[in-house]
Amino acid sequence: MTSAGIRAVWAVLTVVGVIILFWYAASVPMNIKGVLTEFERAGEQVDPPKAVDRRDMSEFELVFDNPYAIDETWDQDRPRLPAPHQVAEELWETTVEKKITSKRSLIYHAWVTLSATMLGFAIGTGLGILLAVGIVHSRVMDLSVMPWAIVSQTIPIIALAPMIIVVLYSIGIQGIIPKAIISAYLSFFPVVVGMVKGLRSPDAMQLDLLRTYNASRSQGFWKLRLPASMPYLFTSLKIGIAASLVGAIVGELPTGAVAGLGARLLAGSYYGQTVQIWSALFAAAILAACLVGLLGVLERLVLKRMGMSQ
C-alpha cells in the first residue's frame, strides 16, 4: 500500500475512533437519570436522593455528583442511548447465535426486507431503463413525459407508501408485492433521469461518425448510446438501490408488519427496546453499504472490461 493510502486509512480509523469515543461519552449523560432511578429503587445512596429533585437538574451535574454510576450507564436494559458494545452484542446475538429461521434473527428480518428491495429494484430499474430508451428515441415522450419525471424527483413520493400498502391490501394483495412496488417506485425516477442523461451523452461528433458508417438507429443504440450510458447507469443504480431499501423499510411501517427491518424499528419504538432499534438500524446500514458496495464492484468490473475506467 502506498504511504498516502496508509495515511487515508489512519485518518478514517481516527475519525471512526473519535465517533465511538464520543458515543461512549454521550451515553453517560443520556442515561444517567435512568441509572440513578434504578439505584434509588435498589435502596442505594444517590445524590440528590429524591427523583423530583433530580428531574430538573442538568445531566452533567448528576454525572459529576454520582461518578460511581458512570459504569452502569453503559450497561442498562433500556437505555436512552445504548453504548456501542451493547449494540454490537445485540447484533452478534441476533445474527450469529440465533437460528436463521427464528423470528428474532436479524438475518431473517434483513432477508425479508432485502427480498422486497431486490424485487422492487429490479422492476424499477427495468421500467426506468425502458422509459429512458423511449424518451431518448421519441420526441413526443421526451416533450411530454420527461418534465414530469424531473418534477417527480422533488416530491416526497414516500408519502404514498402507507396508501399503496392499504389499497393493495384491500384488493387482496399483501406480503412482498406492496413493499416491492414502493421500492420500485422510489428507484424508478433516479434511473430514468440518469439513463436519459447517459443515453444522450455521446457527442455530435460520435453520432456523426456512426452516420458516416450508415449505421441504423438500433445499431447506434446498441453500439454507441448504450455503452456510453454505462457510467451514468451505475451512478443512478447506486442511488436507486439506496432509495429502494428506504422504500422497503418505510413500506413495512404503516401496516405494523411482523417481519422485516422496518418492523423491528417500529416494534422497538413501541416497546422502548432501544437496543433493538439501534441494531436494526445498523443492520439496515450494513445492508445498504453491502448493496452499494456490490454495485460499486460491479461498476468497476464492467467499466474496466469496457475500457472506460479512468
Question: Which residues form the interface with other proteins (CB under 8 A)?
Answer: 7-8, 10-16, 19, 80, 139-140, 142-148, 151, 153-156, 158-160, 162-163, 166-167, 170-171, 238, 242, 245-246, 249-250, 253-254, 261, 265-266, 268-269, 272, 274, 277-278, 280-281, 284-285, 288-289, 292
Report the C-alpha gap between 130 and 128 in whole angstroms: 5
Nearer CB in complex with other proteins: 146/302: 146
Nearer CB in complex with other proteins: 107/158: 158
Provide, rounded to whole angstroms, the least separation between the CB of residue 288 and other proteins: 5
Residue 78 grid cell? 433500556
Residue 279 vs residues 72, 96, 251, 262, 284: alpha-carbon distances, Å: 20, 13, 19, 12, 9
Nearer CB in complex with other proteins: 181/266: 266
Nearby residues of 276 by Cβ (< 8 Å), 6 or more positions away = 90, 264, 267, 268
Q: For residue 46, what is the enclosing H or E element?
A: none
C-beta separation of 215 from 223 below 8 A: yes
Amino acid making up residue 251: G
Report the C-alpha gap between 114 and 227 in whole angstroms: 29
C-beta separation of 280 from 249 below 8 A: no
Provide, rounded to whole angstroms, the least separation between the CB of residue 239 and other proteins: 8
Nearer CB in complex with other proteins: 225/264: 264
C-beta separation of 232 from 201 below 8 A: yes
Nearer CB in complex with other proteins: 148/307: 148
Nearer CB in complex with other proteins: 213/271: 271
Nearer CB in complex with other proteins: 285/298: 285
Report the C-alpha gap between 222 and 218 in whole angstroms: 6
Provide, rounded to whole angstroms, the least separation between the CB of residue 269 and other proteins: 4
Provide, rounded to whole angstroms, the least separation between the CB of residue 47 and other proteins: 25
Provide, rounded to whole angstroms, the least separation between the CB of residue 287 and other proteins: 8
Provide, rounded to whole angstroms, the least separation between the CB of residue 159 and other proteins: 5
C-beta separation of 194 from 235 below 8 A: yes
Provide, rounded to whole angstroms, the least separation between the CB of residue 289 and other proteins: 6
